[in-house]
Structure formats: structure tokens, C-alpha cells
Chains A and B, each alone.
Chain A
Amino acid sequence: MPALRFMLNGEWRSEERASPTMSVLDYLRTVARLTGTKEGCAEGDCGACTIAVACPDKDQHAYQAVNSCLMMVGQLDGLSVMTVEGLARGDGGLHPVQQALVDTDATQCGFCTPGFVMSMFAFHQAGERITETAVHEALAGNLCRCTGYRPIIEACRRLAGLPPFVQPLAKEDAERLAVSPDEPVGFTAPRSLGALASALAARPQAWLLGGGTDLGLLVSKERQSPTDVISTARVPELKNIAVTADALELGGAVTYSAALPHLDDLFPAFGALVRRIGSRQIRNLGTIAGNLATASPIGDTLPCLIALEARVVLRRTTGARHMSVEDFITGYRKTALAPGEFIETICIPRLAGRQRFFAYKLSKRFDQDISAVIAAFRIAISGGKVASLRAVYGGVAPTPARAKALEMVLTGHPWNSEALAAIDAALARDLSPIGDHRASASYRLDAAANLVRRLHADSSGDEPSVRLEAL
């Protein structure tokens, strides 16, 4: 009988009984009988189910917080998993993270607490510097309905200077975890590009799983049940990140978290936007290619990729083809992916010459909000004139909308307040937003125009382009 192998709270576990497509949350609560991990939504929205996982591949020995409700048991193979039950010290003492939460009186009902404990544990393990922003970001994926967060944030601040408590994986455990397992039925995690292509060619109907943050939702929201899953997570080639002279190249299994430092470096506004996508738990699991492949209308990254003229390499057993991201998205949740094909690389050209990149997100709630309106601009200004502009909006149409009329009326013209007079009419031609419960159509149109005014204010000076934090 094929078995999954992983470590759970420091102990080896070999799992034969559980279905590999069962959610890790269900597995922990019903099979492993570890009920400290809570279910608050089963949709990746609340963080009550947060656990920490470490993957021995490459040098990622640190624990990352993930939503156990969005993961399938098959994805645990080869990981070291930590739950709230695994933290307390052998002598019965609390882990520093737990102690901090007790000391700041950060629990009311306590239902969210194990999730916060695990997010903070991963945060603390990673040895990140404790800043206001880092704390907010680390906790953005955890909701608390009772405390109003203040004491939890305070507990997180108190971690500053405390040494990590659980050591990274022992070398021999890491090596053992890295060994390829017997593949469980119904869930395949190929270990090479070729193997992935063949698996997909043989089973073109299988679900192609990146991090699972989108597909996991199909189970809960769209009422689909996976019977056959192929995961990209263990294909080393797909985890590559290359920074070349011309471009940033991201493999098809690169997570948001892995891409983030590079985005921060090359396209800071893109990085700032990604920090506001989902939560850290989601970014640790979710891949940029996965977001692209589901072509979700509210996929926050799509407008940025299109504005930056990103391209994709699509591969299958018979070869590869290239196309722009703009062409790749063919409709509402539709893409140019053919059966048996997967995204091998996303290639984002560096900014050239005077090009600068700006991105804006308007939402009611600061984090983790499905955006009402999102705008991405790549603009070059030369001699007071707009030399070039690519403007792309999200949240205003079923697919990301390129604002070509806007680009046309602004390009070649002086970048001044007269230019701004024309934008409302141009955008009215470009965009036909619909009204829904998130925002009315006319609000979206007004906001779209106001973001151009904001762009004007931000791009007229010389300072770089991150204005997101001010929102």
C-alpha cells in the first residue's frame, strides 16, 4: 500500500489510510485527533486552521504558516508539520509565543488563538525583524472577532529579541523527507519537469495543483470533488527564480512568498500589492502561475503582469510555446492553456529607460479584501511628456482591462492638468464596470479616473513609486 511520509510535531508518520485529497484540517482533527487546530471557514479566509510546515527542498528549512484547510493530505508528503499541540516544551512550559499571548491577555473566546499562535510561531522562527509592518503582515491572515487585535499585536511585538525556540529540521530528518515517496493513488507529485509533462499528458483531466489555494476553494465553493490531482509543488525546475539582465523569470511553482523579495527589488509597487493579496498563509502556498492559470477576475496580480508586458512559457510533452499574459487570458476564468499543458515560466521584463511602475488597490478593508478596483500603470515620462504608458485595470470587468483609449490620449502629451481633463471620457470608452455589492458601477469608474490623478500626483515628482501604504 503506498504511503505518505511526513513529520508531525517532531514525530515520523506514515499515512496509508487517509485519502490524499482529504483536507489537512480534517485529517488533523479527525484522523490524527489533534483538535487544537480549528475550523473557522474551511475557505482560507480566517486563519483559525493555521499550521506551520517546513519543506526540506533547497534551503527552505524554516517553518512557514499555511492554511491547513486549503491543503490536501497528499501535499504533506515530505514535509515537517507543526501544530499548536507541538509547541509547548517538554517540561510543560509554554513556547515563548504562547507565553506572550498569555501575558498580553490576547485571548477572549480563544477560538482564533491556535491559529495566531502558529502564525506567530512561523514568524518568530523565520527570525524576521519585528516592525509594525512585518507584524501586521504576519498576522493579516488571522481573523479575531473578539479582541480587536491590539493585545495580539502587542504579544507579537514582544517576540523581538527572543531566540527561535524549535530548531530547524535535523539534517538526517531533512534528508529522509527529501526522498521521493511511493506515490499515493489519486495524488501525484512529480519530481521533474519531464515527469510532470508525461503525467499531465496521460491524465489531461486531472487537477493541476499549484499551492491549492484556488483549487481548494473549488471544493468548498464550486462543489467539485477532485478524484485525480497532479501537484507541481515538487518539480525543482518550476521553483527556479532567475534574475537576468532583461527580466525576472519565475518558475511555474514559485509561490508569492518566494517571489516577493525579487518583486520588491525590481517592481516595488508590485511587491507592495502582493503583500496585500490574501494573507501570508496564502502567499506561502499559492503560486503566481496558479493565479494566472485560474484567470480569476479578482486575481490581483494580473493587471500588474499585463501592464509590465509579462510573458508565459507553456509546456507540454511535445514542446513549448510563448505568449504574452495579455493573450493568455482569454475570458472570464478562461486561458489559452491546452489540455496537457502547464505554465513553465513567467517572464517579467525589467523596467527600461525611464519606465516606472505604479500599482494601486482600493478596498474597504486593508488586507485580505477582494479588491474593488485595482490599477497598474507602467509609465515613462520624458521632457514633461508621457513617452509611453500601459494602463491596466482589475475589478472593473470580467477580465483585466487594458485602458487603450486612456493610453492613447495621454501618450505623447504633456503630463499636466490639461491632460487630466481628458481621462474621464477616455476611461468611459475603455471600461464598462458592473455594479455589485462591493461597489457601484459609477463608483468604480470615478475611482478608476481618480487613480490616474493619483498617478499624476505620484509620478510628477522623482521619488519612487510606492504609495500603497498610504491608502
Chain B
Amino acid sequence: MGRPEPRVDGRLKVTGNARYASDFPVANPAHACLVTSAIAKGRIVSFDLDDARAVPGVLDILTHETVGNEVHEPKFFGSGGTASTIHRPLSSAQISHAGQIVAIVVADTYEAAREAAYRVRVTYEEEDAATTLDSDGVETLPATKVRKEHKNPRVGDAAAALRAAPVTIDAVYETPTQHHNAIELYATTCVWSGEQLTVYEPSQFVHALKHAMAEQLGIDAEDVRVISPYVGGAFGSKAAVTPRTALVAIAARRLNRPVKLVATRAQGFTIATYRAETRHRVRLGAQRDGKLTAYVHEGWEATSRLDDYLVGGTETTAHIYDVPNVSTRVNVVRTDRATPGFMRSPPEVPYVFALETALDELAEALDMDPIELRRINDTRNDPITGAPYTSRSLMACYDEASRAFGWRRRNLPPGSMRDGDWLVGWGCATAVYPTFMGAATARVRLARNGATRVEIAAHDLGTGAYTAIAQTAAERLGLPVAAVEVLLGDSALPAAPVAGGSNTTASCCNVVAKACDGIRRRLVRAAMRADRGPLRGRKPSSVNFVDRHIAGEDGAKVSLADAFDMLGAPMIEEYAHWLPHGMEPDALKKLHLGSAALTGGAMEDRIAAAFGAELVELRVNVYTGELRVPRIVGAFAAGRIVNPRTAHSQYVGGMIWGIASALHEQTELDRRVARYVNTDLAEYLIPVNADVPDVQAILVSEEDRLVNPLGIKGLGELANVGTAAALGNALYHATGRRIRKLPLRIEDVL
């Protein structure tokens, strides 16, 4: 652990041999194509399916008239379930959002299914839809009202502190709708064999999908298996169970033939989740020396009519800085849209943008270096509860990042740096992500020749879980990484948590280490008891596993093979479960039922989070207002780093996400028809290689003895937090114009 091992799955991926969901060969599949709603609100009056049925090769067309009550109501994950929405697909004529699935066409070939889907004619009765925060007819409710467990962090008397503060900031910030747009499309293949259903679907939580299918289809969970060994990017979109899966299963059951669905890119914008638009009013109060005295943050988040999705990011932002008086409030705004969902750092991206921009405005008002302002307000304790951080290295991150960036050469006044036709601005912001962990189980098998197999139903979304888990087992058992085979992404394996909240490395490496320790104990005991064995009589704590041996501190050692012989067994298998600090034991039972419960962040007796500092240079063309980002430096501290190589890759990829989210990414809504307009990759702008600047990611070392036995913090969702604020702050520094709404657009600058 800690070594920059190359990815164990690199070779499979470059040869095209890694199998993603839609790559699995199934016998004689039929192909499905979805038909989605052209209206945002109203009802279906009738279908005309004659033309569609006339297409040669069409096998079946499912609508609410055929499916009706077949799908049982899914339980929304926000209320402890696993589904992205309580919507029951094809259950009624009701339309609650644009792009809702209204029919599924199944044919012998994909071409025929698509052709027939084009020919499905639907007559609607349309009603006015309220689609976004400001639309007439939306319903705004406090989060505490819609979600009982929701708490708005608060401490002290923020209102009074604001009134008393000599310097204040009061501003409104907005972030847009965004879609994950992983390169892999939403695909599902369902195969029935008698009562048994196998689902091939890219998933961040195979156990949840398994149980969801059992519940929604009314079958026994033991009859469902979900297979998803490789996922072509997810970023949150493949965590909660979406309506399509049950439909494909039903279609396959009706035909008694495997059915394969690959939704189109455009359909992906409406049949799964997205990052909802948010609005924030942030008020800060400070003394003239920069010490914060008050922080008031009210957020509004769009959701659907059916489900109250909310991210409530003040749960993160209220704990970052040492402010004695904090008051926060979160509201949901119910609209006629699909239900939003997790997207990489769901709460942090919007809420940290608001806070970190407000802090920059405060630094400006104080005529103070923005990094200095953060230093003045740094803390070792949770300002809300007083509990200590398990570890925290925010200022160390700022120090390393500003050294690498050359921050000292920054001119303070905005608009004072120029290079030819370009105005130059430098900006900074804090990245933060709470550390989450979940109950996990794993099975490890070690054979006499050192061959090791780790089985755990965890998920590698490209994050490097295969590699990190292999490294963990290899280190514990004193073996080369190549000796370890890791099996993931299959609900037949021991249950592991959702690949969400960046918990996988912490949860899975800890449980795998625990299973390995079980194996170690048995071998060590055998070696210590063996007559004439070199380790006879040693204390278990005095030996280690290195280089295929059990070694004592004095150099005495027993090879693994000999230890196995002493034990008298050809192999050992250990099953382990692990519960993170503060989690109730029933979490394991819940895990087996597919519950996504995690613990972490601000806990009662401690608070755990990873931090980073991001510094960017942004340039604005004086003629055209075009924005370019030539370089970005991020320094991050996230406890023990299992693999610096994959960590580095996550940080770099994360910062690019942050840049895209600030400059390019916005799903645009045509308000008149309540539909998204840029639903393809030509118009939903994710970065291309030429957009990518000089990116430097610095790994700041940090030891954490409290957070979990291995001292690991999640980091996959750290580096894309704060980037947007850093860029907006740099834009202000370049031009003197403060843009409080993302994405930063050319025309706002011109």
C-alpha cells in the first residue's frame, strides 16, 4: 500500500477485453428501444401503434396499457430505499416530466426497434409545466418539512453577529443543471432462466439493484443476480436504481428471450438523474482583521413533484471555517421535472461554490490576500459541535499549492495583470469532501502457492478499486500485487456499500485487510506452534508478512508454503465484515438488503474530511471575451494514500471536471416546452483534449490515526469541489467583474 502500482486492469482496457454491461454475450437477444414523452406534464390520450407494429422484426411494444401495475412502487433512496424515484414506469397515462419513458419497443434487431420506436405515435393532453426555480406554479418547501432527518446546522446568534459586523457580504449565487454524461450509455440486458433473473447493467451498487429488482418485480431476491464488473464512468448516475431496469426485465419475461437495451445519449438526459440547479443567498460578517463572525447560508434546490431530492450542502460548508455564529437553511423547489440525483460531490459542488466565492468577495472588501483570509479562519475543530477533526491539512495544502503556483507574484488589485490581448487573473478556493465509510463484507482466499483471490461486491468505476484492493491484500499477505485476483461488481459476491460518497477505498480496503488479518492469524498461529519451526514461541505481534514469508524482527522466517504445511491445509478462506466507527451493528443487515447507509463527515464525537487548495490562472481576451485556463494547481490531503498513481489520476480528472463545470457545462432548458435542448455531446460541452490546461496535482502527506484503522479518506470527489469558485474568483481578479452564476459565460464578460 502506498506504492504507485500501475492499474491492474490497464491491459484489459487497452485491448478492448474489459467487459462492460452491454458487451456480455447473451444467446439470441432481442433489442429494445425506448419511446419518451414529448411533453413535460399532462397525460397520454392514446397510442397509435399500427405503423410501429408493421415494421418487420418487431416483437412487442409495451405501454402503460400493457404494463399497468406490474411494477411495484419503488422506494426512493432519500427515504431509505434504493430507487432514483418512486415513479412506477409505464403504470399510468400520467406524464410528470419531459422525456419520461412512455413505451418500450422490442424487435429482432436494434435497427428495427429504433425504426418502430420512431413510428410510435402518441397523442397527449398537455398541461402547463413549471420547470425551474422561478417558474410559476413551483412549490417551495423547507427541507426540514420534507425530510424528517434533515438538520440545518446552526450555532450562536448569526443575525446579531451580522448586525454587529464591521464588514459584511450579502450575495446570491446560482449553479446550473448538469448531466453526468459518462461516456458509457445507460444500458441494461435482462436474461431469465426460469425464475431466475440476471441483469447486466453498469451499477454503482449491485446489491441495491438486486433487491430493487426483487421488490419491483415481486420476486425473491435470491433469484436475482446483477453483473457489472466494469463501469464506463458513473459519477453518481448509476447509484440509484432507475425505472428502465424493471421494464427491460418485464419485456424479457414476456418474450421469454434476453432483451438488451442501450438508451440513446439524448434519452440519458431524462431517464436517469442529473445535478439540479441551485440558488444560494450567502451572508458573511467579519472583523476588519478578517476573522469571521457570522455565516448565514440559505439554499434552494430544484427537485421533482414526486420525490424530494436534496443535497443540503450546508451540512458540509457550515463545518469548514472557524465561525462562532452560523445559521443555515435549505429549501426544495418542486418542479415538473425528472427527479435529480447524485452527481460527483453533489452537495459540495454548488454550496462550496457559493461559500468560496463569498469569501473572495470578503477578501476583496478587506483588501486582503484571499489565502490569508482562509488562514485566519482555519480551525482544528468543528465550529458547530466543537468536536475535533480526525486530521486536517487545509493550510498545508494552501502552502504547497501557492509555492508551486508562484502565488506570491500575484498583484492584489483586480485588472492589474495583463499579457498582450489577454487580461490575466489568479484565483483560489478550498476543496473539501467529508470522509464517508460504510459497513462492508469480503471473502479472501489464500492458496499455498500464494495465489490470492479477493471477493467483494464493490465497484470500480474507473477509480482504481481493483488496484487498491489488490494492493491492500498483497501488502497484508506479503505478496506481489500480481498474485492477487480481485472480483468485483457481482451481487453474488459478499456485499459492499454503494460506490458513492467516495467511501469505497476506505470501506473496502479496511474489510479486506481485516479478512487478510484473519488468514495471517491462522498461519502465524500454526508457524508458532510448529515443532522446530523457526518462529516457534514468538509473539504474534512480532512477525510480519513480507516477500512470501512470515518474518520475525530478527530475520527468522517461514515461507508461506511451509506455514501452510504446518497448518496442514492447502488453502485458507476468510470471510470478514467491518463496521466503521459509530455505525450501528444492524448496518450489516441493512447492507445485505441493499441499503446505502454511510457514516462519516460531521459525527457526534469527531469530524472527518479531506481538504485541498486549488489555484488557477484564467485569461480573458480583451477583444472577444473568450476565457482560457492555461494552468491549475491543486494540493490535496486525504489521509493515507493507497495508490499515489490512481489518486493523482482522480485529482487531475477531478480538476478538469471542475473547470468544465465552471466554463462549459450547463443543460439548457427551453422553458416554453420544458425540454432540454442540448442533449448530445456536440452541444453539452464536456472538455476536449485541447481545452485541458497544464494541471498539477500535489499529494500532501497526512496521517490520520482516528478516521479508520487504515487511515484512509475518500478522494474521488474532492478535486472537483472549489474549482468553479477559484475560476470565478480568477475572473474577478482579471476583470473586476464578479460573475455569481455558473457557468461563466463569454457574454457575461464582454
- A residues touching B (Cβ–Cβ < 8 Å)? 19, 22, 26, 29-30, 33-43, 45-46, 48, 83-85, 87-88, 94, 98-99, 101-103, 105, 107-114, 117, 136, 139-140, 142-153, 220, 223, 225, 362, 364-370, 372, 436-440, 442-443, 446-447, 450-451, 453-454, 457, 470-471
Q: Which residue of A lies closest to B651 (CB)?
A: A148
Contact of A38 among B232, B461, B680, B695 (CB under 8 A): B232
Q: How far is the CA of A424 from the CA of B747 in the complex (A)?
A: 17
Tell me the nearest residue of chain A to B681, going by C-beta: A45
Nearest CB in chain A to that of B24: its residue: A35
Stretch of B178-186, B314-322, B387-395 on the interface side: B178-186
Determine if A145 and B668 form an interchain contact, defined as CB atoms under 8 angstroms apart. Answer: no
The answer to whether B689 touches A139, judged by C-beta atoms less than 8 angstroms apart, is: yes
B265 touches A148 (CB 8 A): no
Please tell me which one of the listed residues A38, A143, A365, A368 contacts residue B20 in the complex, with CB atoms under 8 A apart: A38
Cα distance A83–B686 in the bound complex, in angstroms: 26
* Contact status A362-B695, CB under 8 Å: no
Our count of residue pairs bridging A and B at CB distance below 8 angstroms stands at 236
Q: For the complex, is B10 an interface residue (Cβ under 8 Å from A)? A: yes
Beta-carbon contact of B183 and A107 below 8 Å: no
The answer on a CB contact under 8 Å between B656 and A109 is: no
Residues on B with C-beta less than 8 A from A39 are 22, 185, 262
A45 touches B15 (CB 8 A): no
Q: Output the least CB separation between A266 and chain B (Å).
A: 25
Is A102's CB under 8 angstroms from B690's CB? no
Q: State whether A42 touches B265 (Cβ < 8 A).
A: yes
Q: Decide: B656 and A111 in contact? CB cutoff 8 A.
A: no
Q: Would you call B23 an interface residue if the criterion is a C-beta within 8 Å of the partner chain's C-beta atoms?
A: yes
Minimal beta-carbon separation of B623 from chain A (angstroms): 5
Across-interface contacts of B10 in A (CB, < 8 A): 101-102, 105, 107
Contact B111 A26 (CB under 8 A): yes
- Asked if A109 meets B231 with Cβ closer than 8 Å, knowing A83-B16, A98-B14, A145-B181, the reply is yes
Beta-carbon contact of B232 and A111 below 8 Å: yes
The answer on a CB contact under 8 Å between A453 and B750 is no
Q: Is B25 an interface residue (CB 8 A)?
A: yes
Is B14 in contact with A117, judged by CB distance below 8 angstroms? yes
> Within the complex, which residue of A40, A108, A470 is in contact with B462, where a contact is CB–CB below 8 Å?
A108
Whether B9 is near chain A, meaning CB under 8 Å from some CB there, is yes
Q: Which residues of A contact B9 (CB under 8 A)?
A: 107, 110
Kindly report which residue of chain B lies nearest to residue A138, judged by CB atoms.
Answer: B689
Inter-chain contact A109/B118, CB cutoff 8 Å: no
Docked complex Cα distance between A363 and B613 (Å): 30
Q: How far is the CA of A283 from the CA of B117 in the complex (A)?
A: 31
Q: A33-B25, A362-B624, A368-B682 are in contact. Are A110 and B687 (CB under 8 A)?
A: no
B217 smallest CB distance to A (angstroms): 27
- For residue B6, CB closer than 8 A to chain A, the reply is yes
B463 CB within 8 Å of chain A: yes
B148 within 8 A of A: no
B14 in contact with A220 (CB, 8 Å)? no
Given known A109-B461, A139-B689, A369-B685, contact A102–B656 (CB-CB < 8 A): no
A364 to B181, CA, bound (A): 18
B6 to chain A: closest CB distance in Å? 6
Q: Are A443 and B750 in contact (CB under 8 A)?
A: yes
Q: CB within 8 Å of A: which of B645-681?
A: 645-646, 649-650, 652-657, 663-664, 668, 670, 677-678, 680-681
Q: Is B606 an interface residue (CB 8 A)?
A: no
CB contact between B687 and one of A225, A365, A442 (< 8 Å): that residue: A365
Let me know if A114 and B682 touch, CB within 8 A. no
B351 at the interface (CB under 8 A from A): no
Contact B182 A151 (CB under 8 A): no
Q: What's the Cα separation between A89 and B745 when bound, in Å? A: 48
Task: Check A36–B20 contact: CB distance below 8 A.
Answer: no
Interface residue from B232, B649, B655, B683 paired with A110 (Cβ < 8 Å): B232
Residues of B within 8 Å of A439, CB to CB, are 746-747
| CB nearest neighbor in A for B9 | A110
The closest CB in chain B to the CB of A45 belongs to B681
State how many angstroms separate the Cβ of B429 from the closest Cβ of chain A: 18
Do the beta carbons of A40 and B111 come within 8 Å of each other? no
What residues on B are CB-neighbors of A48 within 8 Å?
183
B656 touches A148 (CB 8 A): yes
Write the nearest CB–CB distance from B672 to chain A, whole angstroms.
13
* CA of A440 to CA of B653, assembled, Å: 31
Contact, CB under 8 Å: B20 / A111: yes
A residues in contact with B692, CB < 8 Å = 148-150, 153
Task: Check if A364 sits within 8 Å of B664, measured CB to CB.
Answer: yes
Known A85-B16, A113-B14, A148-B653; contact A364-B746, beta-carbon cutoff 8 A: yes
